Amino acid sequence: MLASLVLGLVIPRHEIVYGSPIPTDLSYTSAQAFLSAVSSGMMALAAIIFSVAFIVAQYSATAYTPRLTVELSKNTTQFHALGLFIATFTFSLCALLWIDRGGSQTVPSISIVLVAILAIASLVALAFMVRNFQALNISLVLRDIGAKGRRTLAQDAANRVGTILPANAEVVSSLATRAVVTYHGEPMTIADYDFSGLIARARANNAIIVLENAVGDVFVKGSTVLSVRGGSIASPEQLERFVMIATARTFANDPEFALRLFVDIAIRALSPAINDPTTAVQSLDQIEDYLVRVGTGDIPTGYVGDDDGALCVVYPAPAWEDFLNLAFNEIRFYGRSSVQVQRRLRAALQSLAQIIQDPKRRAAISAYQQRLEQGLDPSLDAADVALARRADRHGLGGATS
């Protein structure tokens, strides 16, 4: 936008004063009509397109989840398109001022060509924006959330620092607390922890740093950010720079956020106002894949050591049971009267039990299967209960077991 304003003031003036190197047979009246049409059309186009974009964004927040709008707003295509539309309007308007300047009947031909190029580029941007509206299809939305969640899991595994030690709460609780750092700002969400920096400070001072909140939690005034146990760290408040905060949860190093979005979409679809169990089933497809990746990988214990195995940082880490509860509890509750959802839940749990080999995690899956058996809506008749207790990956209509 700024470049179009500067060039719009410089290029047409230069052409009129020093002459245009490109000859043209275009009359000044035709040039005026062309530039007027482009400038007026660009503003109308921008207004229409972005009105539609805002309506679509509002619809996605209502139909899916408000937390999804934060991710949708990160799509830069709409911002580039807006800049291009306004740049085309600005440059064509500036060029229009130099048509028939002082009754000279001159036409700045280079400016006319640039306006034509900008108009064509604006149409291309419009095509990309219309294509992006397709991304709001529920299948594509779920797939995009799944892709970002899987990248988070892979990044979390790749960036894990030091040795993940077995849980040993007794060691930490037996140490004296040397310092406590509290939060004094406005409510903000924990976006990430710099474990490398925390480990280095803990190792240099022979201390253990205890983080009181997990990534995704919200700090409010008076919240404990961290505590220092064992050794002493000068100016412990400086450790706050290793705690990154943001206005809302993000995918960065928050492996539970993708599940939160899947569940939000599913339970909203199961609300009486929408009553769309098929969308809940589609969410469960992604949830099952996500849990397989979590359950077959290494889940952090929350105890992090240095390269020598000395305990340095303790933080709240979700266990396998936490992932299971987050993934299924709300869907199980709100979908207890939906035969389709109950069947898909059973299929997901059966699949997890077959794929995941860790005995403790398999035991948690078995326990959850028992909870599912006991959680059917009592209003269902015997035939519906029998139907709901048969696993079906389609929910209804697929092969059952």
Instruction: Put the strands of the sheet holding 163-164 in their side by side order.
Output: 163-164, 303-305, 311-314, 207-211, 224-230, 177-182
Whether residue 231 is predicted with pLDDT greater than 90 in this model: the reply is: no
Q: What is the pLDDT of residue 23?
A: 67
Could you tell me which residue, 67 or 175, shows the higher pLDDT? 175
- Any idea what the CATH number is for the domain that residue 187 is in? 3.90.1170
- Tokens representing 209? 């740093």
**Domain end point (choices 136, 171, 198):** 136
The pLDDT of residue 1? 87
Residue 331 lies in a domain: yes
Q: Are the C-beta atoms of residues 339 and 387 closer than 8 Å to each other?
A: yes
Q: Give the pLDDT score at 251.
A: 84
Percent above pLDDT 90 for the chain: 35
Question: Tell me, what's the pLDDT at 167?
Answer: 56
Same domain, 114 and 15: yes
**Mean pLDDT score across all residues of the chain:** 85
Task: Check whether residue 196 and residue 258 sit in a common domain.
Answer: no
**Same-domain check for residues 122 and 186:** no
Q: Clarify whether residues 125 and 38 are in a common domain.
A: yes
**Mean pLDDT over residues 85-109, rounded?**
84
Residue 236 is predicted with a pLDDT of 84
H/E stretch holding 313: strand 311-314
The alpha carbon of residue 311 and the mean position of all alpha carbons in its chain are separated, in whole angstroms, by 33
Q: Are residue 124 and residue 9 in the same domain, yes or no?
A: yes
Taking the C-alpha atoms of residue 153 and residue 256, their distance in angstroms, rounded to an integer, is 10
pLDDT at 170 over 80: no
Residue 301 has a pLDDT of 80
pLDDT tops 70 at residue 224: yes
**Backbone torsion region of residue 235, taken as left when φ is above 0, otherwise alpha when ψ lies between -120 and 50, otherwise beta:** left
Weakest-pLDDT range from 154-163, 251-260, 309-318, 329-338: 154-163
Query: What's the pLDDT at 61?
Result: 65
Residue 57 has pLDDT above 60, yes or no: yes
Same domain, 127 and 48: yes
The pLDDT of residue 166 is above 70: no
Query: Is 267 part of any domain?
Result: yes
Q: Residue 142 falls within a domain, yes or no?
A: no
Instruction: Among 9-13, 94-98, 193-197, 301-305, name the one with the lowest average pLDDT.
Output: 301-305
Least confident of 59-73, 212-226, 280-294: 59-73
Give the closest residue to 206 by CA, choosing from 225, 229, 226: 229
Q: Over the stretch 109-146, which tens digit does the pLDDT of each residue have?
A: 888 889 999 999 998 988 888 777 776 778 888 898 89
Lowest mean pLDDT among 165-174, 295-304, 311-320, 361-370: 165-174
Range of the domain at 106: 2-136
Residue 100: the pLDDT is 78
**In a shared domain, residues 272 and 172:** no
Percent of the chain with pLDDT over 70: 90
Q: What is the pLDDT of residue 323?
A: 95
**Number of domains composing the chain:** 3
Contacts of 70 (CB under 8 A, 6+ apart): 248, 250
